[in-house]
Amino acid sequence: MKKTQYIEKGIDSIKSIECIVIGVSAGGFEVLSYLMEKIPKDLSCSIVIVQHRTADNDGYLVYHLNLLSKILVKEVDDKEPIKKGVVYLAPPDYHLFIEAGETFSLSRDERVNYARPSIDVLFESAADVYAQKCLGIILTGKNHDGANGLTMISAKGGQVIVQNPHEAEAKEMPNAAISKNNDAIILTLDEIISFISN
């Protein structure tokens, strides 16, 4: 996307983004594979992802994404400092929080929106820490997780993007996010990648 296209779509490309948080569920394996293959190696912020995964997940997703990615993809460790140029993935069956001081915290609190990890939990904590320097992105998924968290990011001055439901494998999560966020920018996956890359 060129700068004029950002303006036309209502995206403030001038803002300094320090943390990108991404929520994805059903259809996530394919979408994240495509996304990680395209992310540039000189990424100047951190990316934190909640992909709904079950407790018995064997860790193959992280291994697979590292094969495709030009930058490190890793599962989060409790109390780990957040570094730029790294892609972090919430461990299965743990909520992922971002704490003041830009560190991670893991919790096995009750499920939120029937999920653990919950996208809302990550997004709301990221909004508190990064405020206007946070970009929240909702991708394909079958439930409503992430819609409230995206609202929090927007309320704190951050930017919010939703994958175009027409191209999403599962439309429910993008549609829920759009219905709760009138200021959400709706982009195709290729447009999202272009924006992150810039």
CATH code: domain of residue 111: 3.40.50.180
* 10 domain-assigned: no
* 4 domain-assigned: no
pLDDT at 106: 97
Q: Is 103 exposed, middle or buried (0-12, 13-18, 19+ CB in 10 A)?
A: middle
Structure tokens at 162: 């939703």
Q: What positions carry a catalytic annotation?
A: 25, 52, 145
Q: What global pTM score does this model have?
A: 0.92
* 104 domain-assigned: yes
* 2 domain-assigned: no
- Please tell me the distance from the alpha carbon of residue 182 to that of residue 177, in angstroms, as a whole number: 9
Residue span of the structural domain in which 148 resides = 17-197
* 183 domain-assigned: yes
Structure tokens at 32: 């994240």
pLDDT in tens, the chain (198 residues): 444 344 445 555 545 899 999 999 999 999 999 999 999 999 989 999 999 987 777 789 999 999 999 999 999 999 999 999 999 999 999 999 999 999 999 999 998 888 899 999 999 999 999 999 999 999 999 999 999 999 999 999 999 999 999 999 999 999 999 999 998 999 999 999 999 887
According to DSSP, residue 162 is labeled E
Structure tokens at 61: 């997703």
The answer to whether the Cα torsion of 17, 117, 180, 22 is positive or negative is: positive
The answer to whether 6 and 13 are in contact (CB under 8 A) is yes
- Please tell me the distance from the alpha carbon of residue 88 to that of residue 50, in angstroms, as a whole number: 9
Cis check for the bond before 91: say yes or no (omega within 30 of 0): no
- Please tell me the distance from the alpha carbon of residue 71 to that of residue 69, in angstroms, as a whole number: 5
Q: Which residue has the tokens 């508190």?
A: 128
Q: How many distinct structural domains can be found in the chain?
A: 1
* 45 domain-assigned: yes
pLDDT at 114: 82
* 124 domain-assigned: yes
According to DSSP, residue 24 is labeled E
pLDDT at 5: 47
According to DSSP, residue 183 is labeled T
* 154 domain-assigned: yes
